[in-house]
Amino acid sequence: MFAAARASRAPMRHLRAAQWHQVRRLQTSQQASAEDRRSATQFERTILPLLQRYRQTHGHAHPPFEYCVTAADASAAGAALPPKTAGFALGRSLRMLQTKQTHLVEKPERAAALRELGATVDHWMEVIVPALKWHREEFGHVRVGQTLEMTAPELADAGLPLQLAPFRLGRAVNMMRTRRQGRHHAEFCAAIDELGFVWDEHERRWREEVLPAIKFYADTRGNVNVPQAYVMGQADCARAGMPADRDSYNLGQLCANIRWHGQYWSRNPERVPVLEELGFVLNPVEEGNEGAAEQHERQ
């Protein structure tokens, strides 16, 4: 009897679960629509008047990303502004428009209003692409360091507004790689691919630096027992076929990290056979190489 009752309730549970998921989907859709409507009206009611005021005050329409509206700017921008506008994150809100593009593509008149003020419309094509072109012309590649910041003279060389200084190009590139920012923009992706930009920096280092360096050591020394203090000089980097801008490479520390900390293979097990074919012994303690373990601990 109890089994029959449970069996009869089972379809009802599935029905209630299906109804719950349907309601959740509807709520999510309604929330997204409400956010779109808020973003749509926010441009005309808040962002544009505040940006106009910012341009009048500062002489340009490129507020820093961290800029928040002051009480004086909010009051001077007009009485039609929503309440509590002081403190509004104008820099962040404008950058979101310029990067996501959604509300500018759907409403060309908004893009026209920004251009009339001299503001950037497409952050990817108008800022990042020229910055990467400058980097390639300056350094011969687009492997941008995470801490690189462009100064006003460098922005001028790139044809970018001086008011963007200091422009954190390294941070922008890191966000592109780690959070896939800009991947939605097909024209942008094509432009930076042409510049030689690599989205997966980890894979690039493995292919262009790690493997060539280890193979070079194995070919010239007959083994991969690299001392931890060993550093390749510029000539050896060139002979190994590594990037031309490499003037040194700490191969010894790299090999220690590979052996002892799983760098470059713990999350990519398909690379283990490649390393073992070169003669690498991973985790020497497990291979009965206790002497190497003691040496590593002393270092």
Given 74, 89, 120, the domain boundary residue is 120
Given 120, 135, 152, the domain boundary residue is 120
Q: Mutual orientation of helices 48-58 and 90-100 as an angle, nearest 10°? A: 120
Per-residue pLDDT 10s for the chain (299 aa) are: 545 555 555 555 554 655 655 656 655 555 545 555 555 578 988 999 999 999 999 999 999 999 999 888 777 776 567 777 889 999 999 999 999 887 888 889 999 999 999 999 999 999 999 999 999 999 999 999 889 999 999 999 999 999 999 999 999 999 999 888 999 999 999 999 999 999 998 898 999 999 999 999 999 999 999 999 999 999 999 999 998 888 999 999 999 999 988 999 988 999 999 999 998 888 754 444 444 433 433 33
Count of domains in the chain? 3
- pTM for this one? 0.70
Domain ranges, residue 254: 201-298
Contact between 251 and 226 under an 8 Å Cβ cutoff? The reply is: yes
* Residue 11 counted as domain residue: no
Phi-psi region of 154 (alpha: psi -120 to 50; beta: other; left: phi over 0): alpha
Q: Distance between CA 157 and CA 151 in Å, rounded?
A: 10
Buried b / exposed e along 58-78 (16+ C-beta atoms within 10 A): eeebbbeeebebeeebbeebe
Q: Distance between CA 150 and CA 164 in Å, rounded?
A: 9
Task: Let me know whether 215 and 176 are in one domain.
Answer: no
* Residue 30 counted as domain residue: no
Helix (H) or strand (E) holding 249: strand 248-249
Q: What is the DSSP letter of 271?
A: G
